[in-house]
Amino acid sequence: MKENINNIIYKLLLFTSISFLVFGIIDSIGKENNIFRVDQIIISGCDLTKEESLEKQFSYLINKNIYSLDLDDIENKILENEFISSVNLIKVYPKTIILDIIEISPIGIFKSNNTNFLVDNNNNGFLCSSNISSSINVPELESDGELNIKNIFNSNEYRILHHIFNNTPAFFHVIKTIKSNDDNIIVKTMNSWISFDKNHYIEQTNYISDFLNDMNNYEYIKFSHLDVIVKSRNTI
């Protein structure tokens, strides 16, 4: 019996020693062998962010050992870019890193004094270049003289845009501009314009889907509380 126990202990020690040796060899290969040195960084998902700037920022990863990369550190650096909401980091062995970028989703833009200000659906705003702003197809919030970057998220223009984006996406996608005056919010599409009451726009926008299929047939649609006035294009 004692001999059997000694035999078992011997085998366990032998197995443990071999395991440590094998893992040590693998770890050594992973740390020192050029096979596992990063030589390619693939970046995807960039529209607002310049891919070239990310390539330059993370060029230091080239020739780094792919096993020893700190993915949390890389992710934190990427998320410092305000146009990026999240990122998927993927190691493709033996020597490729993929940065799969997920950017913010702007729902509108405000332009004033050579300033381009993107807004998203979560009350976040981002300054951007004219090149970026011209490449993004979102409604423009036009100033009534009082609208500015500081008060934009409390404005009627942003509030109605936010509501339409969340509740009537088909309408959102045909909007070109939004502007308010003393009593109304004017929403323009390609061929028509719609006037909403400032105090009742939530109820009124809920009815706009009834007109969407025939929007091009109207010159304008005016809401007054829950009443609506429509001018058809063939009206003289």
Q: Give the CATH number for residue 84.
A: 3.10.20.310
Pair 134, 179 in one domain: yes
Pair 138, 159 in one domain: yes
Out of 10-14, 34-38, 100-104, 229-233, pick the least confident.
10-14
Pair 17, 120 in one domain: no
Pair 123, 191 in one domain: yes
Pair 38, 21 in one domain: no
Does residue 111 register a pLDDT over 50? Answer: yes
Pair 56, 123 in one domain: no
Q: What CA–CA distance (Å, rounded) separates 42 from 97?
A: 6
Q: Output phi, psi for 230, to 5 deg.
A: -125, 135
Q: Look over the chain and give the mean of its residue pLDDT values, rounded to a whole number.
A: 83
Does residue 25 register a pLDDT over 60? Answer: no
The domain that contains 226 carries what CATH number? 3.40.50.11690
Pair 132, 204 in one domain: yes
Q: What is the pLDDT of residue 29?
A: 53
Residue 129 neighbours by CB distance under 10 Å = 11
Per the structure, the complete domain to which residue 165 belongs is given by 106-232
Q: What is the pLDDT of residue 134?
A: 78
Q: What is the pLDDT of residue 232?
A: 83
10 Å CB burial of residue 199 (0-12, 13-18, 19+) is exposed
Does residue 22 register a pLDDT over 70? Answer: no
For residue range 149-168, list pLDDT tens digits in order.
889 999 999 999 999 999 99
Pair 24, 49 in one domain: no
Pair 51, 113 in one domain: no
Pair 8, 69 in one domain: no
> What is the mean predicted confidence (pLDDT) over 71-90?
92
Q: What is the pLDDT of residue 7?
A: 57
Q: What is the pLDDT of residue 99?
A: 94
Does residue 110 register a pLDDT over 70? Answer: yes
Q: What is the DSSP string of 181-198?
A: -SSEEEEEESS-EEEEET
Q: What CA–CA distance (Å, rounded) separates 218 from 220?
A: 5
Cβ contacts of 217 within 8 Å, gap of 6 or more? 232, 233, 234
For residue range 207-228, list pLDDT tens digits in order.
887 788 777 788 888 888 778 8
Is the model more confident about 30 or about 130?
Answer: 130
End-of-domain residue from the set 80, 103, 126: 103
* Domains: count for the chain: 3
> What is the mean predicted confidence (pLDDT) over 65-87?
91
10 Å CB burial of residue 165 (0-12, 13-18, 19+) is buried
Pair 167, 114 in one domain: yes
> What is the mean predicted confidence (pLDDT) over 107-135?
88
Cβ contacts of 67 within 8 Å, gap of 6 or more? 27, 30, 31, 36
Q: Output phi, psi for 78, to 5 deg.
A: -65, -40
pLDDT above 70 as % of the chain: 85
Pair 126, 227 in one domain: yes
End-to-end distance of the chain based on CA atoms, in angstroms?
110
> What is the mean predicted confidence (pLDDT) over 27-55?
81
Task: Determine contact, residues 90/97, Cβ cutoff 8 Å.
Answer: yes
For residue range 162-201, list pLDDT tens digits in order.
999 999 998 999 999 999 988 899 999 988 899 999 888 8
End-of-domain residue from the set 52, 87, 103: 103
Q: What is the pLDDT of residue 9?
A: 46
